[in-house]
Amino acid sequence: MPLCVSYSNPCQDMMFFETTLLAFQNYILMLGTSVMIPSLLVPAMGGSDDNGTMLVTLNQVYQFPSSIISERDKALVIQTLLFVAAINTLLQALFGTRLPAIVGGSYTYVIPIAYIINDSSLQRITNQHERFIQTMRATQGALIVASSIQIILGYSQVWGLFSRFFSPLGMAPVVALVGLGLFQRGFPLLGNCVEIGLPMLLLVIGVSQYLKHVRPLREIPIFERFPVLICVAIVWIYSIILTASGAYHDKPIATQLSCRTDRANLISTAPWFKFPYPLQWGPPTFSAGHSFAMMSAVLVSMVESTGAYKAASRLAIATPPPAYVLSRGIGWQGIGIMLDGLFGTVTGSTVSVENVGLLGLSRVGSRRVVQISAAFMMFFSILGKFGAVFASIPFPIFAALYCVLFGLVGSVGLSFLQFTNMNCMRNLIITGLSLFLGISIPQFFNEYWNPSHQGLVHTNAGWFNAFMNTVFLSPATVGLMVAVFLDNTIEVEKSKKDRGMAWWVKFRTFRGDNRNEEFYTLPFNLNRFFPPT
């Protein structure tokens, strides 16, 4: 079946009910990251709940030490993260790149936030809840200051000018590493609960690939368009049965945290109604060291979002975003990070890679779907009890989806190589070296990093340690540095055709291709006031 693509309205053969289900599918998918990031960071920040209950967790991803968990604070942070993600998604869909992409929380910010958490001035605070509040305010201040990097580079068109050094050969490993570089969030986390994760992986492959042409309802290809909803519902019910039957009563706490559907007590601690608002945790505090450390994550998220935008445009059958549109999107993403700081989401924003992969898996690229998905985020973030029900989905279910979706994004990156001459040894060396170092260098840095010792780069300047470790722990950023440098320094003039520039050059400017106006023109006739270049 051909891809269903629409940028202003749902596709003609899609009913409103179908569009709404597709939007809800996007919402469910982005919950994995939105729940996991606060679950990692809030305990380390030291919050305490109203009744002083103390719970101990095992961090299975970033090796944070055991600490007091505030279930109530965590629930509020999750609600705030979803609320701001809804705003950022709408801003990006309306005024940014206008691609059908979800904007949500990012793991990239974990390292600089860990540096802030371990700041000695904050660690000296004995009251756990007070330490949580002060750490949150410090994180807010760092995000607000660091957001200026993307705002300036975006709206000044500097990032667009830099993107002129990109080519299909240079972008192929970058986009590929945006997906493949997230391998640690795939099977390693699925393996924390194999009895749930493995059936989910097999089921999503079976439904999306082997049953995609089966149509129980003649009008709607439900298996092709709703594989995430179908598979999550089936395996979630299965995991609820396992939990209710007592299958995990005598299991280690790590297994219970990964497998049980009643873990974390999110439903009981989430408020029925909570409207997130700016400065809800108090006024932000500002520190030069914290801000410089956070700037590294902002730069990395800019690179990763650029790769995600390229992948989204390709899966949505749009032209690659021109330099002007790419800069516009980065500028609005900077505004989004500033909103993260004002509201207190505990992390910054970037394009959701898993939702980009869903564009290809469901074969639907509709801006309206993304906008309605943002409405779901906002609705369930305000009505906390209802949102907490879906947030209780075990994370191995999401990890199984990531195996498919991150791999799909990675393959989209490799598809850019079709516009290059891969019989050219120069291109083979650049592609292979970029991919290999893009995976190998971050893995080397990852082996040495933990919040206490602050990684391979270990000087007396903690902000510098966080900055360098964040940059070199990002596969896409390392891949960009290697690929773009080599591609623009080795036999550049001789290799224009081999690099794919003959196909690529017309997409550098907004006027270079007539289709750009269909995909990237601003709404409400705003192009009159902000003419594209």
DSSP state of 208: I
Residue 220 bridge partners (DSSP): 217
User: Token digits for 84?
Assistant: 């701001």
Residues 257/259/260/263 CA torsion (nearest 10 deg)? 30
Residue 14 pLDDT: 60
Residue 264 pLDDT: 55
Strands (E), 287-417: 349-351, 364-366
Write the pLDDT tens digit of every residue in 292-307.
999 999 999 999 999 9
Query: What mean pLDDT, rounded, does the chain reach?
Result: 87
Q: Are 190 and 396 within 8 A, CB to CB?
A: yes
Calculate helix-pair angle for 227-244, 16-45, nearest 10 degrees: 50
SS3 of 513, please?
A: coil
Calculate helix-pair angle for 353-362, 16-45, nearest 10 degrees: 160
With b for 16 or more beta-carbon neighbours within 10 A and e for fewer, the 166-188 pattern comes to: bbbbbbbbbbbbbbbbbbbbbbe
Residue 64 pLDDT: 39
Q: Are strands 349-351 and 103-105 parallel, antiparallel or unpaired?
A: antiparallel
Q: Are strands 4-6 and 103-105 parallel, antiparallel or unpaired?
A: unpaired
State the Cα–Cα distance between residues 67 and 86, nearest whole angstrom: 30
DSSP per position, 2-43: --EEESSS--TT--HHHHHHHHHHHHHHHHHHHHHHHHHHHH
From the CB of residue 512, how many other CB atoms can be counted at a distance below 10 Å? 15
Q: Of the candidates 324, 306, 258, 332, which has an alpha carbon nearest to the alpha carbon of residue 94?
A: 332
Calculate helix-pair angle for 288-315, 475-487, nearest 10 degrees: 70
φ, ψ for residue 95, nearest 5 deg: -125, -10
Give residue limits of the domains in the chain: 22-47+68-528
Residue 451 pLDDT: 62
State the Cα–Cα distance between residues 432 and 425, nearest whole angstrom: 10
SS3 of 216, please?
A: coil
| Residues 6+ positions from 98 with CB-CB distance below 8 Å | 7, 92, 325, 367, 519, 520, 521, 522
Low-confidence ranges of the chain (pLDDT < 70): 1-14, 47-70, 263-268, 451-454, 529, 531, 533
| Residues 6+ positions from 41 with CB-CB distance below 8 Å | 77, 110, 113, 117, 346, 347
State the Cα–Cα distance between residues 226 and 483, nearest whole angstrom: 36
Q: Are 70 and 129 within 8 A, CB to CB?
A: yes
Query: Given 3-state DSSP classes, what are the helix, strand and coil percentages for the chain, each rounded to the nearest 5?
Result: 70, 5, 30
Q: Of the candidates 327, 403, 412, which has an alpha carbon nearest to the alpha carbon of residue 365?
A: 412
Residue 246 bridge partners (DSSP): none
State the Cα–Cα distance between residues 166 and 93, nearest whole angstrom: 24
Write the pLDDT tens digit of every residue in 383-434.
877 777 887 889 999 999 999 999 999 999 999 999 999 999 999 999 999 9
Strands (E), 368-470: none
Residue 2 pLDDT: 37
User: Token digits for 7?
Assistant: 């940028």
Please give, one letter per residue, the 3-state secondary structure of 231-265. HHHHHHHHHHHHHHCCCCCCCCHHHHHHHCCCHHH
φ, ψ for residue 4, nearest 5 deg: -90, 110
Residue 349 bridge partners (DSSP): 105
Residue 368 pLDDT: 93
| Residues 6+ positions from 330 with CB-CB distance below 8 Å | 150, 153, 154, 159, 302, 305, 306
What pTM did the predictor assign? 0.89
Residue 49 pLDDT: 40
